Structure 1
Amino acid sequence: MIPAIGSSLFDPSIAQTRAPSASEGMAQAAKPQPVGGASDFSQVLSRVMVDAVDSVKSGEATSIQGVSGKASTQAVVEAVMGAERTLQTAVAVRDKAVAAYMELSRMQI
């Protein structure tokens, strides 16, 4: 049975609360939040680059262990694929940074 409107299922306390408006939600989302305790972009970028170098080094070390028979083929493939993804990401970020620099250099002052 479907209850009638205004029946005992209506909870007046729910009606008193309101959802944040779209502009309030956007204002909260626009507030800058530090990532991993970093306070500026250069620290974040530095940490990402250190992680990328560590990933590539790990892939190389696992490859060497695989050649010497100390690591399984699956471990070698996973490490190399991870290093390859990291390298592709670094190249994509570099390309975007160069494109942004070129865009800025073409702007008229």
Structure 2
Amino acid sequence: MTPAAAIKAYAAAADAAMTKAPGTEKTAGMPDFGEMLGTAMTNVVEQGRAAEQTSVAALTGGTDPVNVVTAVAETELALETMVSIRDKVIAAYEEILRMPI
């Protein structure tokens, strides 16, 4: 077998594996993992901006300090959740790297 034929066979096998691999098809109505992470990151950023606006409003006398504390606490919780997710993804990646080939 020539190297070109081997490469072609490998590419065909890889394509077949990707189209037939379980879990590679998208479930109807479900976003993929990347979309979910992107949405979560966008929500964290939006909460941070809202907390910042609430803080500025409190400085000008436009809102209660209770609203500021609540907004900051919600943002802190969202950020801690994202850090936890990041840590889990990194741990899973490191576990995959340790797998024998």
Which structure has more RCO (C-alpha within 8 Å, separation ≥ 6)? Answer: 2
Among 74, 78, 90, the residue aligned to 1:82? 74
CA distance in 1, matches of 2:60, 2:28: 46
The more displaced of 84-93 and 62-71 is 62-71
TM-score normalized with structure 1 length: 0.62
Q: Which residue of 1 aligns with 2:33?
A: 41
Among 96, 104, 107, the residue aligned to 2:99? 107
SS in structure 1 of the partner of residue 94 of structure 2 = helix
- 2:66 is aligned with what amino acid? Q
Displacement, 1:44?
1.8
CA distance in 1, matches of 2:92, 2:60: 44
TM-score normalized with structure 2 length: 0.66
Displacement, 1:85?
0.5
> Would you say the 8 A contact 1:59–1:76 is kept in 2?
yes
> Would you say the 8 A contact 1:52–1:86 is kept in 2?
yes
CA distance in 2, matches of 1:105, 1:51: 31
Displacement, 1:68?
2.2
Q: Which residue of 1 aligns with 2:52?
A: 60
Q: How many residues align?
A: 75
Q: Which runs of 4+ in 1 moved over 6 A?
A: none
Q: Provide Cα deviations, 1:45-93, integer angstroms capped at 9, x if missing partner.
A: 2111111110111111111211222111111111011001011101101
- 1:34 is aligned with what amino acid? G
- Structure 2, gaps ≥5 residues long: 1-26
- Percent sequence identity over matched residues? 36
